[in-house]
Amino acid sequence: METKQKMTFLAKAPSSLLAVFVFIIAAIIFVFTDSIWTPHTATGLKSHLINDLIIAIGCFFIVRLNPKSVWYVPIICNALLILASFAEPHFWESSMLLPICGGWALSVLVSMIAAQLGKQKQNIR
């Protein structure tokens, strides 16, 4: 007979809600760090890299918990920069193309790795 373990809020929450939470946290930190570093650097590269790392870490933990959410979690978490890329008329010619698209690729790659780890973890139980 197995003992019942108490699940935390984060373990019970749906992946989409956790992704929105990561989106909000990343957006707040991005705005805060961008306002600090943009006067000193022309591109705000540091704030984009911090944003990419926060999103990648969030995607990893969310998708590892629920491997079925591998495709929609990175899209929800990156929604701010995805929308900004379509709204910016010269985005595809800007110097920020590499860090932003690199962050998207990183979050998808990390999510795919986390999905594999999550599937293995569920098969062990």
Phi first, then psi, for residue 44 (nearest 5°) are: 70, 35
State the Cα–Cα distance between residues 109 and 60, nearest whole angstrom: 9
For residue 73, what are its two tokens?
């979690």
User: Residues 38-52: what's their mean pLDDT?
Assistant: 73
pLDDT of residue 52: 92
Residue 39: pLDDT above 60?
A: no
| Banded model confidence at residue 46, pLDDT cuts 50, 70, 90 | confident
Map residue 88 onto helix, strand or coil: coil
Q: Among the ranges 78-82, 84-88, 112-116, 118-122, which has the highest mean pLDDT value?
A: 112-116
